Amino acid sequence: MSERASVAVVGSGPGGAVAACVLAEAGRDVILVEEGPGLGQQSCRPFSIEEMTQKYRHGGVTAALGPCPVAYVEGCAVGGGSEVNSALYHRAPAARLEEWARRFAVEGLGEKDLAPHFEALEAELSVLRDSTEVHPAGRKLAAGAASLGLECRQAPRMARPGPGPLHRLAMSDTYIPRALKAGCRLLDQTRVERLQRRGRGWVLKARTLGPLFEIEADQVFLACGAIQTPALLRRSGLAPRAGATLAIHPMAKLVAQFPEEVNGPDLGVAAQQVKPPHGRWSFGCSISSPQNLALNLLDYPEPLSRLARDWRRMASFYVMVPGSGRGEVGLLPGCPDPLVRYALSPEELRGLDDGLQELARLLQAAGAERVFAAPAAGPDARLTTLHLMASCPMGEHGGLCAADSFGRVRGSEGLRLADASLFCGPLGVNPQGTVMALSRRNALAFLKGGPEE
């Protein structure tokens, strides 16, 4: 078995889906390769155990090792992380773009440079900036913020309004169907083990259910995410610095119990967020299904034992701090999965601890009867992250950057990156919108370069 395409896009999350769509609609022969299955959002209840089993890598049981381990999740399905997240959408903060452009000599990264790409995405995805959706947990967060003199905003979402809860829009609803309509071919449940240069093009050594087979392509766009992209590069003997600069947004959670119901089986996750002016942390609502509440109550046997009775009066909330620690993605001989490590900085630890105390005070001001916070430091800490980035930073600073300003991997002609690994550090907000904007920018730059690229 073998496949041939002009362009192979590896990974079908927000970065890969956008790249495949842009290239296919421009008339390129594109094959989109995804390790996970093609299921769509209707295959199971959102934020359920079934969703974790079907669409998360290893069922979501993955962790970055360190003095304070940090659990992280990766989507592993057609559509990637967009299939399992809350569809939040943010533009990259202008100040962060300016900082990256200055420190890493990134070309074409100003706010004005990316604005056309954000605008196009927002029009194509019908991004909702305001919604009439009423979420009880979001109302509690907003009420508590107001009582402390803080502003609570509703984050924009990729969602379709309608009766009842909003329908989240994932890549399986949007860019992937467009790419397929334009002639893109999709190989799901196909893991790319390594890349190999052959002549002027590339060979992808891939595996579906049987032995390895080859996918030949003139050009390759890698969009496997900030963990799997550097792991694939390193397995292939490419980009020796790949994986050395992983950044995350560390997060700690607590559960608040209220006198009245704030939860239900089909409520989803509220989009309300609180970002204090000092910028040391931000607050928001988290997944509050009974299963996720149980995970967040592991250190509290008494409320955990009453969860079946009380879960509708409980909701999970998070405090997130901008990343300032240092992580890396490495390989273990004979192990198919990468070794991920992360060392939290003292600033992150203080921010999580202080932020949890402030969040508890906010929720008590909103009427919470009890607040249950998990440990935020030490080997028993229950820290998580949903945002992984910056493992292969872009820019013209050759000593720091695995790829150039437009995602071309140094020393590997015809190989590009199209995911959050390209970031030059922690973004400070949900990265999904920025991943798509950079992918669109880089795919269009490739097309302008001509067919020989």
* Beta strands per DSSP E along 67-111: 70-72
One-letter amino acid of 235:
R
397 is catalytic: no
Annotate 316-335 with b (16+ C-beta within 10 A) or e (fewer): bbbbbbbbebbbbbeeeeee
One-letter amino acid of 424:
C
What's the rounded Cα separation, in Å, for the pair 37 and 48?
17
CB 440 within 8 A of CB 121: yes
Burial (CB count within 10 angstroms: exposed 0-12, middle 13-18, buried 19+), residue 144: buried
Distances (CA, A) of 280 to 140, 276, 321, 332: 22, 8, 6, 35
One-letter amino acid of 399:
G
Q: Which long-range contacts (C-beta less than 8 Å, at least 24 apart) are formed by 285-288?
A: 285/135, 285/137, 285/138, 285/141, 285/315, 285/316, 285/317, 285/318, 286/253, 286/316, 286/317, 286/318, 287/47, 287/316, 288/137, 288/263, 288/314, 288/315, 288/316
User: Among residues 135, 167, 387, 397, which one is catalytic?
Assistant: 387
What's the rounded Cα separation, in Å, for the pair 87 and 35?
21
What's the rounded Cα separation, in Å, for the pair 137 and 314?
9
Catalytic residues: 387
